[in-house]
A and B are shown apart, each in its own frame.
Chain A
Amino acid sequence: MPTPFRTTLWRVLLMQLVALMLLGLLQGRYDLVAAP
């Protein structure tokens, strides 16, 4: 049975959120933005 579209939508958004969060963590850990 095909996956309902709403489920797919949530999956894609969740994946996008996870990707953005990981990139955010990478930036937060290594970017020296706060330094003078």
Chain B
Amino acid sequence: MHWINWAIVAVYLTIVVFDGLRRTRGTTNIEGYFLANRSLPWWAVGLSVMATQLSAITLIGTTGQGATDGLRFIQFYFGLPIAMVILGVTIVPFLHGAKVFTAYEFLEKRFDAKTRSLTSFLFLLSRGMSCGTIMAAPSVVLSAIFGWDITWCVALIGIPTVIYTVLGGVQAVTWADVKQMFVIVGALTAIVVVLIMRMPVPLDNALEIAGATGRLRVFDFSFNLSETYTFWSGILGGTFLMLSYFGTDQSQVQRYLAAKSVSEARSSLLMSAYWKIPLQALILLIGVLVFLFYTFTPAPMLYNPQHSAQVQQKEPATFAALEERYSSAIAKRELAARRASAELSDGVDMTSSSALFDFRSADSSVNVVRKDALAAAGRVTGEASRDVNYIIPRFVLDHLPLGFAGVFLAAVLAAAMSSIAAELNSLSTATVVDFYQRWFRKEGSDAHFLFVSKTATAIWGVFACVVAVYAANLGSLIEVVNRFGSFFYGSILGVFILAMLPRTKALGAFVGLLSGMAAVAAVSFGVPSVSFLWHNVIGAVVVVAVGTVLSVGGGRMEEPRTP
């Protein structure tokens, strides 16, 4: 990569870290460190909420998914605006009004200490691991692209993030998120402009060509529980997932607890309600445009350069045969695409353009060769291919004008850092407030708790970096933790719903939580074909049902304590 691109990345990192250091001033207690003394404006919190959700793998993986699979992934977000509105009138006023540091603290005010500790512990367990994996994913891609050791890639992302999060607390996290969102949206917009300008055929024809492969199909109205991305799973399952994520996950809850007022907290969530679907559509559309770009420009057979080199080295005959088939297939596809564009420009309707149907079958042939190449890569390397994550980075580095690669790399780092910083900040809050302060040391000076909070953030940061470096070896362990995490996401939402219902009791909430997790585990193992989006619905419904029945039936249970 050219030095100018590296200079852009260096300027970005310097600004983020120095601004974080500047934010250390004036923070004297943990309310300032974790919640900015509840003083942040809605727009900054809103951008922080969006930046936290948008990780590096969204930026590189989802764009890649757009290139291979089209726009249908957007259905996943259809429940988000609904969830934001529901949260605005339910959990947000409860949590903000209760003046809590963590969402789980509210559960003790409403139920009891064991429900708070269990939910907070589950959060620490799943987010602690996921923080490492969201750092590992872009590090693996950078490592393969630049040929660096994974440790250096983790250090590039992890060290600046840990420095500004430890020193600046939530102030640094939020204001860095604001800048990072501008970098991300700026980079995405620049890439779209370049892609449109470089399209060798008129844009309308190009989109018709992409439409011939089904990549512009957004809606799937089939009611199929095993299909992850359908309209119904997005609207119903997506709503429950987003309710769980934005309503009960401390990494998001802490963003809006730092807002000035309930009204500002609501407005910050509504920013996502308005802008998440358009932003996600833009990200997926970039993928579709990159697919079109590579239709008219020779595309690599394998986008992961390390996998490609290993197949070539270890199975040269197989590689050569695949390359020959691939070159012939992409040449035929390009020819068909150019003929289709010419026919469309001549006024031929897309449904009667024979070249467009030729293009569709040529694209299927390319996909068959790619599938064989990916299988060879999997066999040779012993790793899952994840080739989709390399499409956009390769395109940016190989084809964008000077400077763009630097902006894109800064955007990838921004996306990774914004998610990691918010998670470290929230992991530290839950550790200090829900465990250290609750169980070990209730009284202490502001300076003491501030020191403990910074130390906890640093320890979580080092833990995340270590998990990221060893992510490849910890693969199966991380999978177990992620799967375990999916068991309780919807169930924790169920506990919060119970907390807002009148006359529900602590034992009902605790037993309900365990029942919900057991039910999701049973469905997950017993009927593995059911998509994970439905797990949250099942978990939440079981918790509310069991919790309500136990609360009504158990006359000897303790009375609820209202906040």
Contacts and interface: CB of A to CB of B under 8 A. Distances in A.
B217 A27 contact: yes
Interface string A5-35: 1001100110110011001101101111111
Given A23-B281, A30-B207, A15 B81 contact: yes
Given A8-B270, A27-B218, A30-B211, A35 B89 contact: no
Nearest to B216: A30
Nearest to A16: B81
B277 interface: yes
B208 interface: yes
Interface in B325-373: 350-351, 356-357, 360
B236 to A, nearest CB: 15
Contacts of A19: 277-278, 281
Given A12-B81, A35-B351, A30 B208 contact: yes
Given A5-B89, A34-B351, A23 B218 contact: yes
Contacts of B71: 23, 26-27
Contacts of A8: 85, 88, 266, 270
Nearest to A23: B218
A35 B214 CA distance: 11
A19 B42 CA distance: 23
Given A30-B208, A32-B356, A12 B273 contact: yes
Given A16-B277, A32-B350, A26 B81 contact: no
B88 A31 contact: no
Interface residues of A, number: 21
Nearest to B217: A31
A15 B78 CA distance: 12
Contact of A2 (B84, B216, B263, B351): B263
A15 B270 CA distance: 11
Contacts of A35: 212, 351, 357
Q: Is the interface of B mostly helix, strand, loop or mixed?
A: helix
B210 interface: yes
A24 B88 contact: no
A13 to B, nearest CB: 8
B266 to A, nearest CB: 8
| Of A31, A34, A35, most B-chain CB atoms within 10 Å | A31
B439 interface: no
Interface string B266-287: 1000100110011001000000
Contact of A31 (B74, B216, B278, B356): B216
B350 A15 contact: no
A11 B212 CA distance: 35
B219 A27 contact: yes
A23 B217 CA distance: 9
B351 A31 contact: no
A18 to B, nearest CB: 10
Nearest to B231: A20
Nearest to B281: A23
Nearest to A25: B218
Contacts of A31: 211, 214, 216-217
Q: Which 4 A-B pairs have the closest CB atoms?
A: A30-B211, A30-B216, A23-B218, A32-B212
18 contacts: A13-B81, A16-B78, A16-B81, A16-B273, A16-B277, A19-B278, A23-B281, A26-B71, A27-B217, A27-B218, A29-B207, A29-B211, A30-B208, A31-B211, A32-B212, A32-B356, A35-B212, A35-B357
Given A12-B81, A16-B81, A16-B82, 18 more contacts: A2-B263, A12-B84, A12-B85, A12-B270, A12-B273, A13-B81, A15-B274, A16-B78, A23-B71, A24-B218, A26-B216, A29-B211, A31-B214, A32-B211, A32-B360, A33-B214, A33-B217, A35-B212
